[in-house]
Amino acid sequence: MRPVILCLDDEEQALHLLVQQLHRELGDHYEIPFASSSVEALELLKILQTEGVELQLIIAAQTLVAPRGNTVLDEVHSTFPQALSILLTAQEQAAIAPRGNAKSASSLPPVELYRYLTKPWDETDLLMTVQAALRCYQQQQDLLQHEHAMLQAHDQSSSSHSLLEATLDATADGILALDRAGQITHFNQALLQLFSPQSDSGEAMPPAGHSAGSLLNNREQTLPHLKQWLQNAPELWEQLMAQTIAGAWHDETTVQNQSWQDSSLTISPPHHPRLRSITLSNGRSLEYQSQLQMVGDAIVGQVWSFHDVTERQRSEALIRYQAHHDFLTGIANRFKFNDVLDNMLVQAETESSQLAVLFIDLDRFKVINDSLGHSIGDELLKSFVQRLQRVCRHGELLARWGGDEFTMVISNLSPDGATQAARRILSALHRPFEVQGHQLRINVSIGIAQYPQDGKSAEQLLKRADMALYQVKEDGRNGYQHYLPHLDQKGQALFAIESALHKALERNELSLHYQPQLDTETGEVTHVEALLRWQHPQLGTIAPEQFIAVAEQNGVIFPLGEWVLTEACRQAKAWQRMGLDNLVMCVNLSPLQLSQADLPTVIQQVLAATELEPRWLELEITESAALRNEHVIRDVLNSLQALGLGLALDDFGTGYSSLSYAKQLPFDTLKLDQSFVRDLMTNHSDGVIVQAVLAMGKGLQRRVVAEGVETEALRDLLKSWGCRYLQGYWFSCPLSAEAATEFLLTQQQPLVQAA
């Protein structure tokens, strides 16, 4: 039966994460039961006791086991007295907690405490700590076995002494025994290896003329060398002598009457001695502790054990470094940045000085990643950081916030120091970057907030620098902006919209309006475009341009888009049942919806649920969305076209490659953007463009719809140029479902007589 690691935590998410991480690393060798309450834990302990398992380690949340007299811990202590424990706590604690110290906090459990771990923990640190605790448990069991063997051997034969020495020499920890006079009475091979000088390769170097084996075999000749090595660590040697000779062990532990008796030679059972640490001149880092050596009831000396933790400390140092530095660029990460910023704010307040926080975002970096690949993107980021580091000055810290976002803090700020830093950054990017044979140019947007005028906390400064950054992006990118108070109001308005948007669907605040499209040849309505509207009870009418971008940023666009599609198809089917059976419903798709791998499946499910045939649905995609990734968009559109849907290219003419997209992508309809239509009567250039698009649509056999037709004169002009389909306020404004139904039912006769 496999030994057991017991996990206890009243936070189920943390408990499941803990068990999952332990299973990945130790599941082949250990059973890992768990419980989230005291009741569950007690039931589990009864089962473990019945099955006779070996419980080696308890990992428990302090919030679950802290109170004194805790029934769970009493049960564990009485049933599994040798088990070690690791406490999970949200408070900062020492890396290795004192074990058994009489001065320990009253909340410590009676089960032997190995270490505290703070939440949230680092998985690597957790696993290293657990493995170290399991080794410690095994070493204690080994020591108990050794002591038991020593007692048996003393009663049975004189060979017990040699057996004990052989056992201790086979132990990985260094063992040192001192008598009451401070004389060395025993040591093992591991101790010699720990304290002997080391070669450049890290191997122990015995004194000239000796080998490691000969040192151990000839203990009398070895003692002077060992004593000298111990004295090379004066702090350790003085402590060994003071505690042994002066009887200072009484501060560490107390002698119990129920120590392991029935023998003339006894090492007292572990009473949680204090664990100390030291770094030797040979570079090794050791943890050590002592036990009393007893003969009957008399104390005859101390037995010290030394454990090599050099590699563990190196690993912990690496973990600490990785926790505060970005793995790709090597600069500080957001955690390190936050620590430094907090310290700088304290210093700035003390010295009445100023500092600035800069939020730096690479403009359109995603295009490089998508088009050239992430390996080139990563190399570009590293080159970008190296160039910025060259223009950083004393008192400026650059950090990677995440992805293509960076932050900088500037201490002891001069009046225009932040502006100068922003200009240095922008100037450093004038030259292109050479990355794997590609010559790449990148720009950045920079938001600036200053202490104390823009905020006095790290959170305020970062938030307001971020607001300033997004103002730069709205203004066209590739520049810098200082925080201004009106940005707060703008940000609060956006936050209010974002918060309300999550509940808008549940509260039935959203609705669809419908705007008809007219066929000027037949005078009939052939298509109806579904337009989303939001009426908030407090904020009033919120325009789509205000909340669609927010929905795309926070992910609400996906359930919102599916709701729009479902509601529009449901209305189209309702109209068909009323006899309006020649109407095509037009629904706009967000660019993010086009990125959904299951978009065709979602649309099929909506059509099936609403019983609408695919030919009565036309999906509108803006030209800017089509520009994002031509190859991906083409595959998506081909999949949608295969379903039998109509496809329309909306805002046609506003992109960079309109003619190319109209030709290469499978669109049935081109919708002329209203910016080209509204000024047709006065702008000759717009007229040339519109006539060219109409001619192209005719040649490519695409239906062309002119949006924004607001006057009869515009209608007549477009009709004279051969534009058959019109949409705009001249014909009809967007109507609610009820108004649109009434409009369509009362206008079943042709609205405009064919010429």
Q: Examine the fold and report which residue of 432, 458, 483 is the final residue of a domain before the chain moves on.
A: 483
> Are residues 571 and 697 located together in one domain of the fold?
yes
Instruction: Count other Cβ atoms within 10 Å, centred on residue 695.
Output: 13
Mean pLDDT lowest for which of 172-181, 337-346, 386-395?
A: 172-181
Whether 272 is in a domain gets the answer yes
Sign, CA dihedral 482-485-488-493, equals negative
CA distance 1 to 31: 9
Tokens of 149: 């063997």
Helices (runs of H) and strands (runs of E) counted in the chain:
28, 29
Domain boundary among 442, 457, 483: 483
Rg from Cα positions in the chain: 38
pLDDT at 736: 93
Cα separation values, 263 from 26, 150, 153, 185, 331, Å: 39, 9, 10, 19, 61
Checking phi first, is residue 751 left (phi over 0); if not, alpha (psi -120 to 50) or beta? alpha
431 and 313 housed in the same domain: no
Q: Quote the Cα angle for 439-444-445, to 5°.
A: 165
- What is the per-residue pLDDT for 93? 46
Same domain (yes/no): 513, 615: yes
pLDDT digits 0-9 by tens, 531-589:
999 888 777 787 787 777 777 777 788 888 899 999 999 999 999 999 998 899 999 99
Are the CB atoms for 98 and 104 separated by under 8 Å?
A: yes
Is the backbone of residue 743 left (phi > 0), alpha (psi -120 to 50) or beta? alpha
| Residue with the larger pLDDT of the pair 632 and 28 | 28
pLDDT higher than threshold 80 for residue 29: yes
Choose one of 297, 324, 351: the last residue of a domain: 324
Sequence-ordered list of residues with C-beta below 8 angstroms from that of 175, at least 6 positions apart, any chain: 168, 186, 187, 188, 190, 191, 303, 304, 305, 306
The predicted structure's pLDDT at residue 724: 93
Look at residue 222 in the predicted model and tell me its pLDDT. Answer: 78
Q: Would you state the pLDDT for residue 491?
A: 59
302 and 398 co-located in one domain: no
Q: Express each pLDDT in 324-366 by its tens digit.
A: 888 899 999 999 999 999 999 999 999 999 999 999 999 878 8
Cβ burial of 12 (10 Å; 0-12, 13-18, 19+) is exposed
Whether the CB-CB separation of 695 and 689 falls below 8 Å is answered with no
Residue 155 pLDDT: 63
Query: Measuring CA to CA, which residue among 198, 186, 183 is closest to residue 229?
Result: 198
* H or E element in which residue 721 lies: none
CB 573 within 8 A of CB 611: yes
pLDDT given at position 699:
85
Q: What is the CATH number of the domain that holds 302?
A: 3.30.450.20
Give me the number of domains the chain comprises.
Answer: 4
Residues 470 and 591 placed together within one structural domain of the fold: no
**Is residue 451 located within the same domain as residue 528?**
no
According to DSSP, the residues that pair with 619 across neighbouring strands are: 587, 647
CA atoms of 101 and 60, how far apart (whole Å): 20
| pLDDT value at residue 754 | 45
Between the ranges 212-216, 368-372, 617-621, where is the mean pLDDT highest?
A: 617-621
Q: Give dist(CA 626, CA 491) in Å, integer.
A: 30
The CATH number of whichever domain residue 447 belongs to comes to 3.30.70.270
Are the C-beta atoms of 30 and 81 separated by less than 8 Å?
A: no
Domain assignment present for 254 = no
| Structural domain contains residue 532 | yes
Q: Which domain holds residue 513?
A: 499-742
Same domain, 560 and 676: yes
Q: Are residues 305 and 348 in the same domain?
A: no
Same domain, 630 and 515: yes
Alpha carbon 49 to its chain centroid, in Å, reads 40
Tell me, what CATH number does 74's domain have? 3.40.50.2300
- Percent of the chain exceeding pLDDT 70 equals 82
CA distance 556 to 534: 14
**Sheet with 405-410, side-by-side order of all strands:** 332-333, 396-402, 405-410, 355-362, 444-451, 479-482
Question: Does 55 score more than 50 pLDDT?
Answer: yes
Regarding whether 316 and 396 lie in a shared domain, the answer is no
Higher pLDDT, 68 or 476: 476
Residue 277 sits in the same domain as residue 355: no
Q: Which residues pair with 277 in a beta bridge?
A: 287
Mean pLDDT, residues 121-142 taken together: 90
In a domain, 614, yes or no: yes
Structure-model confidence comparison of residues 88 and 369, the more confident one = 88
Joined tokens for residue 211? 């080998």
Look-up of token digits 């060259």: 390
**Rounded to an integer, what distance in angstroms lies between the CA atom of residue 676 and that of residue 685?**
9
Question: Is 248 inside a domain boundary?
Answer: no
> 317: left (phi > 0), else alpha (psi -120 to 50), else beta?
alpha
Q: Is residue 647 part of a domain?
A: yes
569 part of a folded domain: yes
pLDDT per position as a tens digit, 488-504: 655 565 666 776 777 77
Give domain status of residue 250, yes or no: no
The string of pLDDT tens digits covering residues 232-247 is 888 788 878 877 775 5
Residues 470 and 598 in one domain: no
- Residue 685 belongs to domain with CATH number: 3.20.20.450
Q: Give the Cα-Cα-Cα angle 289, 290, 295 (nearest 5 degrees).
A: 165
Question: For the ranges 285-289, 547-551, 718-722, which has the lowest average pLDDT?
Answer: 547-551
CA distances from residue 331 to 277, 319, 337, 376, 490 in whole angstroms, order as listed: 31, 15, 10, 19, 33
- Whole-angstrom Cα distance, residue 481 to residue 475? 10
